[in-house]
């Protein structure tokens, strides 16, 4: 019930901060992919499995091999190749490892679905979050029962998964307040940023993502790009990294530095960190798909400095994120990059991404993009408007340019990084 307690606290705080306004709508945006299992009474069977739990990595490999052409067939079916993050792999894991819980399973929800259920009593989801399960297809706009049957062909899956609501549908009420269907965190951020075609987002949080909106669905058999749907009726090709600011936080701890000090150290070192290169796959990686990988540090010499280590950490994360962006650019046109997330507030991250990218880079003026996107969805559902109409009315989409530093060798840094990645892990 921690999620519900957090909702109650956040709801009360938002009312207090806004001077107790009239609330016209509610929507929940939550982390994609996770698995919340309920019994026939609607009670939670076991602790939720979150997206970054890689315990189901063997199931991802097994599932991929169940279709004749493997990854290519999965991409054609759902726009994505299943990895450990996807809900279908977690269902396979549950079926394989916890038969008692499996026998009592009545409903499988995503994190945002569970909160919507607490608010409305409705078992319902949206197309954006559904597209990250591994068993709903953005290409057809329908569940793929044949893929769920791979996990368990004796179950009536139509009674187990939630109904997929329309993008601006009111799915219920909470204390008389209309509740929208909710969505995944990345889909919510796209709404909150007023994201338009041609703009790609790099989100720098504990983990990282690169994504863009598209008018056409994507299907990447390499598995680097997940062909998700967005929350508005369009599509959201996305590449995800498991490691972002958690890497620089770990390096700061090793250096005995606070976050601001690590930023200062990184900014004091030259581009390329004197030949020091860090591969930031500290806790496994999703892009590329290396769930059991670890980090590498190359180029150490006896005169290595704290500044160089800090710089190498930031550059390593930024190179990983730009690799993810390159994968997006292969399937969707991109002419500028917007940085969001906690890492976007760091001068070091902003400066290094701008130095290493060949595109204009900016930061969003939206402070909490996911929460803002949930508000956009709530307003659209409650007021009968499109998401784009709400975004225009709220003047979303403003970007502050990041100046590209002079005298940096961006191509050399990325080449240096690519050489280490190739030596450490063939991809």
pLDDT tens, position by position, 193-248: 999 999 999 999 999 999 999 999 999 999 999 999 999 999 999 999 999 999 99
Task: Give CA separation, 130 vs 35, 113, 135, in Å.
Answer: 12, 10, 8
CATH code at position 147:
3.30.420.40
Give a yes or no: residue 167 inside a domain.
Answer: yes
Q: Are 282 and 295 a contacting pair, CB within 8 Å?
A: yes
Distance, CA of 217 to CA of 79 (rounded, Å): 7
Tens digits of residue pLDDT in 133-168: 999 999 999 999 999 999 999 999 999 999 999 999
Asked which of 113-117, 190-194, 271-275, 285-289 is least confident by mean pLDDT, the reply is 285-289
Which residue, among 329, 312, 321, 326, has the nearest Cα to 353 in the 3D structure? 321
Tell me which DSSP letter residue 407 carries.
S
pLDDT tier, 15 (very low <50, low <70, confident <90, very high otherwise): confident
Which of 389, 381, 366 lies closest to 181, judged by CA?
A: 381
Query: Given this model, what pLDDT does residue 410 score?
Result: 65
Catalytic residue, candidates 59, 113, 126, 185: 185
Largest CA distance in the chain: 67
**pLDDT at position 291:** 87
Look at residue 95 and tell me if it is in a domain: yes
Looking at residue 406, its pLDDT comes to 77
Q: What is the pLDDT of residues 68-93, one digit of tens each?
A: 999 999 999 999 999 999 999 999 99
Q: Which residue has better confidence, 125 or 406?
A: 125
Residue range 33-50: mean pLDDT, rounded: 97
Structural domain boundaries, residue 44: 2-183
Dist. CA 91–CA 59, nearest whole Å: 9
Q: What pLDDT score does 358 carry?
A: 95
pLDDT in tens, 376-410: 999 999 999 999 999 999 999 999 999 998 765 56
The band of 14, judged by pLDDT with boundaries at 50, 70 and 90, is: confident
* Domain presence at residue 324: no
| pLDDT at 63 > cutoff 90 | yes
User: How many domains is the chain partitioned into structurally?
Assistant: 1
Look at residue 370 in the predicted model and tell me its pLDDT.
94
User: Contact 33/85 with Cβ under 8 angstroms?
Assistant: yes
pLDDT, position 326: 97
Report if residue 191 sits inside a domain: no
Q: What is the mean pLDDT of residues 272-301?
A: 94
Please give the share of the chain, as a percent, with pLDDT higher than 70.
Answer: 98
84 vs 1, which has greater pLDDT?
84
Judged on CB neighbours under 10 Å (0-12, 13-18, 19+), 99 is exposed
Quick check: 22 pLDDT over 60?
yes
- For residues 311 and 272, give the distance between their C-alpha atoms in angstroms, rounded to a whole number: 8
Of 197, 274, 285, give the one whose Cα is nearest residue 240. 285
d(CA 115, CA 86): 19
Residue 427 has pLDDT above 70, yes or no: no
Residue identified by tokens 């240096």 is 416
Q: Is 185 a catalytic residue?
A: yes
Write the pLDDT tens digit of every residue in 95-113.
Answer: 999 999 999 999 999 999 9
| Average model confidence (pLDDT) across the chain | 95
Strand runs labelled E in 258-379: 277-279, 296-298, 334-340, 361-364
pLDDT at 19: 75
In a domain, 170, yes or no: yes
Q: Give the separation between CA 53 and CA 84, rounded to whole angstroms.
A: 7
């Amino acid at each position: 019930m921690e999620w519900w307690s957090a909702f109650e606290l956040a709801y009360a705080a938002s009312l207090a901060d806004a001077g107790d306004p009239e609330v016209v709508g509610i929507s929940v945006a939550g982390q994609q992919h996770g698995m919340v299992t309920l019994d026939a009474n609607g009670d939670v069977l076991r602790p939720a499995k979150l997206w970054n739990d890689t315990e189901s990595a063997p199931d991802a490999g097994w599932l991929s091999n169940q279709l004749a052409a493997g990854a290519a067939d999965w991409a054609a079916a759902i726009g994505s190749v299943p990895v450990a993050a996807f809900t279908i792999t977690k269902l396979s894991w549950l079926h394989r490892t916890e038969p008692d819980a499996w026998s009592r399973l009545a409903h499988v929800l995503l994190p945002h679905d569970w909160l919507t259920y607490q608010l409305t009593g409705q078992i319902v989801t949206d197309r954006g979050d559904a597209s990250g399960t591994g068993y709903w297809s953005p290409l057809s706009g329908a569940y793929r029962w044949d893929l769920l049957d791979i996990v368990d062909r004796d179950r009536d899956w139509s009674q187990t998964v939630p109904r997929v609501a329309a993008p601006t549908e009111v799915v219920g009420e909470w204390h008389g307040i209309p509740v929208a269907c909710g969505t995944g965190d990345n889909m919510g951020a796209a709404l909150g940023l007023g994201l338009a075609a041609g703009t790609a987002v790099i989100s720098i949080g504990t983990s990282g993502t690169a994504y863009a909106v598209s008018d056409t669905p994507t299907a990447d058999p390499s598995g680097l790009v997940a062909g998700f749907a967005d929350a508005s009726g369009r599509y959201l090709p996305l590449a995800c990294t498991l490691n972002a600011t958690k890497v620089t936080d770990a390096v700061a701890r090793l250096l005995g530095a606070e976050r601001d000090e690590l930023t200062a150290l990184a900014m004091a070192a030259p581009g390329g960190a004197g030949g020091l290169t860090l591969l930031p796959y500290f806790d496994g990686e999703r892009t590329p798909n290396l769930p059991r990988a670890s980090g590498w540090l190359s180029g150490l010499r006896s005169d290595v400095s704290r500044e160089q280590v800090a710089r190498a950490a930031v550059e390593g994360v930024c190179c990983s994120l730009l690799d993810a962006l390159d994968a997006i650019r292969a399937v969707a046109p991109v002419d500028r990059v917007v940085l969001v997330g906690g890492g976007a507030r760091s001068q070091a991250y902003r400066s290094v991404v701008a130095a290493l990218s060949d595109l204009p880079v900016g930061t969003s003026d939206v402070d909490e993009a996911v929460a803002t996107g949930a508000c956009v969805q709530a307003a659209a559902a409650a007021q009968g408007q499109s998401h784009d109409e709400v975004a225009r009315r709220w003047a979303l989409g403003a970007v502050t340019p990041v100046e590209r530093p002079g005298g940096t060798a961006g191509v050399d840094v990325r080449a240096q990084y690519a050489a280490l990645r190739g030596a450490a892990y063939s991809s």
